[in-house]
Amino acid sequence: MQPAGRRTVVDLALQDNSIRAEAASRSRVLARLQLGDSGFRYLTRAAALGVLALLGGVIVSLVIGAWPALRQFGPGFLVSERWNPVTENFGALAPIYGTVITSLIAMVIAVPVGLLIAMFLTEMCPMWLRRPIGIAIELLAGIPSIIYGIWGLFVFAPFLQDTLQPFLIRIFGDIPVLSTLFSGPPYGIGMLTSGLILAIMVLPFITAISRDVFDAVPPVLKEAAYGIGCTTWEVVRYVVLPYTRVGVIGGIMLGLGRALGETMAVTFVIGNAHKISASLLAPGTTISATIANEFTEAVGDLYTSSLIALGLILFVITFIVLACARYLLLRIERRIG
């Protein structure tokens, strides 16, 4: 038998070795976790910087491609309505005007309708009806734009030509300003038709996002408002909308971006006329429709550069819209505190 003192020394040595092995194992685990965390951090940073690099590359490419046209026409390119490929005299005012007007028509119609649908689905819709309406909205969002264009040209435009447009011309014919907005023959196609098609296209995005953010409102807030006697409209106005304002504005901006950049559906029904008319029933054009229609037929560097310059202008318009939206959110947050 070994002396008790020697066993104690051996036990202490074994215990010390066990502690050292456990510490080494923990050190290796921590090193592995730190390595994984560092790798994940660098990966996410590379992804974020990659987006910035991609955006910068797009901007540089657009500026380089548009420079010949911008150098040739100068600031007059933005205020000129002329678009003559034969004489190589180009101006962007008509496409800019068409883009802004059709998008404005679309948002004026789609925003209130989309918010009302989202309010109905989250606050008042019976459970058995909520799912069919939600599926219908998702199906609308999944329809390709070319289908909207074909339907708009062969079904919607003839319907407007026979019904809505003659009605608007007759009703507003004697009212100042409105008589100008709804004047001229009912072509069926035109700015108003394009705006209505865009409204149908962006409606699912606004509705779906608004519905999701409305569902995220804590039920206790709405129950407290109902408990003090608020009506459904008051709950939506004073509880739901303030709580979800960021998400709602984000959905509206997503829909506006879709409206500004939509190509095929607008190309089918806008008429593709490079002219500015005060009447919403008249044909017109947009930036994306002009590029889609003429890029494959562009002969000469100046013609191609002018089309690229239109793309650059559309990029700038989208950037300005997003910047205004962010500024609006900052103002709201500062006011609320």
Q: How far apart are CA 299 and CA 99, in angstroms?
A: 24
Instruction: Work out the mean pLDDT of the chain and round it to a whole number.
Output: 87
Whether residue 269 contacts residue 152, with contact meaning beta carbons closer than 8 Å, is answered with yes
Write down the residue that tokens 């089918």 correspond to.
268
Whether residue 252 contacts residue 209, with contact meaning beta carbons closer than 8 Å, is answered with no
Q: How many helices (H) and strands (E) does the chain have?
A: 16, 2
pLDDT exceeds 70 at position 230? yes
Q: Give the DSSP per-residue string, 172-226.
A: STTSTTHHHHT-S---S-SHHHHHHHHHHHHHHHHHHHHHHHHHTS-HHHHHHHH
* pLDDT value at residue 282: 92
pLDDT exceeds 90 at position 333? no
Write down the residue that tokens 């559309």 correspond to.
314
pLDDT over 70 percentage in the chain: 92
Question: For the domain 77-336, what is the CATH superfamily, name and number?
Answer: MetI-like (1.10.3720.10)
pLDDT digits (tens, 9 = 90+) for 11-45: 655 566 666 667 667 777 777 778 878 888 889 99
pLDDT digits (tens, 9 = 90+) for 89-113: 999 999 999 999 999 999 999 999 9
Q: Name the pLDDT band for 140 (thresholds 50, 70, 90).
A: confident
Q: Name the pLDDT band for 193 (thresholds 50, 70, 90).
A: very high
